[in-house]
Structure 1
């Protein structure tokens, strides 16, 4: 596999300059020795060097949003297959310009590099800031962003970017409204490090649109209602997730929430992500639905805000759009939501913080 990878996908055009093979490896090593090369850019060069090695795999880390980040090995052949799925789905042809504005330390950033190699694209590098398009002056055919980057880049999209895939967080109703009418096509993605990036996408802007499988991917559910992914060209075996879904057929599903996050309040199971979607029109500030221990209910639902947020909020403001069991029993505040390096809220840490503070 190593020889095949080096022979077929050992070149990349970065910021308009194409290099391949040993010349590409030497260039990356030289950039890493420079004292003024920023860390985010070093991550790009480190990954390219790892890709050019004769190992059949690369090392990646899970995001850590639901627990401690794990180190896993990803087969290069699976990364190539995943890249080909995306290139095919978005009909991207050789010579297109794509943008990397996510950290190359994580799978989303790594896969932008692989797509550029496999597809023969010109890959522009931008610092993975909250508003990366401010660094870009030329048209972009395809890029990947997290919701915060999309929100901060809304004034800069215009006709600058044709296609954006979005992952790594929940899209608020406010953001969805602001995206409506822009010429850019936005797609929400579903995937994880273990599936080598996304295995399903949905076009944003169409009401009640399910996630649709990428080529050669099928879905089922287990007895918990959690998604099972079968994708023989990117995984050795079916992947059983902790994501609760509503399955339409073996190629389409609606995402409901994480099994790990389910709140059991008085015997009623509540999915925080569903409550958050209902409240996204009411709360225009960063918030989270969580739970604290309760003697009577076992767990009781609470809404958690950052300290500076919406000072005069009352529980009655939240009740109109929720079922009786979903209504938060308290409003709690913490100084700052703990985030992973890829920008996801660490829900399990929030629970720990408010449990300690509540008692």
Structure 2
């Protein structure tokens, strides 16, 4: 029998205390009135979760377009929590760490998983370098890559870590090989209620994502991923992500179709070039394109710096067509509301 969104598992605990569904109203009020900013955000979500509506409003991060507010069904969020629990074999009484803000879907879903699956969740301030109890072992946690990198020395206290919200660099993947934590990169978006697929990036690492239960994937004519997730959303979700299938349930992410560079008939995926360069760059950067009379388009690099001077060895792992033909420096990148690089707006400032 599938749990309902208006029920709380009898093993659920928040910061060491069990609360019933009715208790959450008082907890939410207390957090909102007396808590720190991150606790106020938790309180606001809990208040939304227990109200009379069967849906909540969620802000998207704006990483793939303009930030917007969308409606998610609470029962669909419950279904997402169950799928995650099944995949990672989470059981009632397992411990979880919440170090993401409850303003976005990733933080909200950590709370929903705890409420639905009966996890004992501990909340800490969602800083870039989260401070948590290193005398304690946590069964499950979600972080963005920047947090995982800062917390690397403490990750052995976490049994299973999911990392999402931004691409995981090759340098960070190398660091993950040194920890005992089972680390998974996630694929998903707010519209799919966080991840619909994951891949392990240390230990038994793979190059492709595996879908969670009850997810059906296909491709459209542009080779972009199409997601059918009837328990999460109504209708298909057509993404802008170009993928390569390995089976009916596994795929390799190649890059965003709107970022693809057609250089002399060869498709270049900026994200793949960036992965090769990540360990050699000391500042933020991204790969884009500009018009070229011979090749149609060529790759260029934009760096967040005061000078465009780079060591030529930076490009030693790239072939001739991948190598940026120009490097442009911008003192400060434009960012989305969630702190990610806004490529479109940054490029606009380059053209001014």
TM-score by length of 2: 0.92
Does 2:26 align with 1:29?
Answer: no
Does 2:173 align with 1:183?
Answer: no
Q: Tell me which residue corresponds to 1:19.
A: 19
Judged with a 3 Å threshold, the aligned counterparts in structure 2 of structure 1 residues 341 and 139 are, in CA distance, closer, same or farther, namely: farther
Which residue, out of 320, 323, 326, partners 1:327?
323
Confirm or deny: 8 A CA contact 1:60 1:74 kept in the other structure.
yes
Does 2:350 align with 1:336?
Answer: no
The runs of at least 4 aligned residues of structure 1 exceeding 6 Å deviation read: none
Greater displacement, 255-264 / 67-76: 255-264
Question: Aligned pair count?
Answer: 349
Q: Tell me which residue corresponds to 1:124.
A: 122
Give the drift of 1:165.
Answer: 0.2
Q: Distance in 2 between matches of 1:161 and 1:296?
A: 52
Q: Distance in 2 between matches of 1:24 and 1:319?
A: 54
Give the drift of 1:299.
Answer: 4.4
Greater displacement, 118-127 / 272-281: 272-281
Give the drift of 1:79.
Answer: 0.4
Give the drift of 1:189.
Answer: 0.4
Give the drift of 1:121.
Answer: 1.0
TM-score by length of 1: 0.90
Q: Distance in 2 between matches of 1:152 and 1:8?
A: 33
Confirm or deny: 8 A CA contact 2:199 2:206 kept in the other structure.
no
Does 2:338 align with 1:354?
Answer: no
Provide the alpha-carbon RMSD of the alignment.
2.3
Q: Distance in 1 between matches of 2:286 and 2:43?
A: 36
Q: Distance in 1 between matches of 2:231 and 2:162?
A: 21
Give the drift of 1:271.
Answer: 1.3
Q: Distance in 2 between matches of 1:69 and 1:191?
A: 16
Q: Tell me which residue corresponds to 2:189.
A: 192
Confirm or deny: 8 A CA contact 2:199 2:205 kept in the other structure.
no
Q: Tell me which residue corresponds to 1:151.
A: 149
Confirm or deny: 8 A CA contact 1:126 1:135 kept in the other structure.
no
Greater displacement, 220-229 / 320-329: 320-329
Give the drift of 1:137.
Answer: 4.1
Q: Tell me which residue corresponds to 2:100.
A: 102
Q: Distance in 2 between matches of 1:346 and 1:12?
A: 38
Give the drift of 1:164.
Answer: 0.3
The Cα offsets for residues 300-325 of structure 1, whole Å up to 9 and x where unpaired, read as 4221222169x8514x3244322322
Return 5+ residue gaps in structure 1 as ranges.
none
Q: Tell me which residue corresponds to 1:61.
A: 59
Give the drift of 1:103.
Answer: 1.1
Instruction: Tell me the secondary structure at the aligned position of residue 240 of structure 2.
Output: strand
The Cα offsets for residues 93-150 of structure 1, whole Å up to 9 and x where unpaired, read as 1111101111111111110000000011111111111111456542111000000001
Return 5+ residue gaps in structure 2 as ranges.
none
Q: Distance in 2 between matches of 1:143 and 1:195?
A: 19
Confirm or deny: 8 A CA contact 2:273 2:287 kept in the other structure.
yes
Instruction: Tell me the secondary structure at the aligned position of residue 85 of structure 1.
Output: helix
Q: Tell me which residue corresponds to 1:227.
A: 225
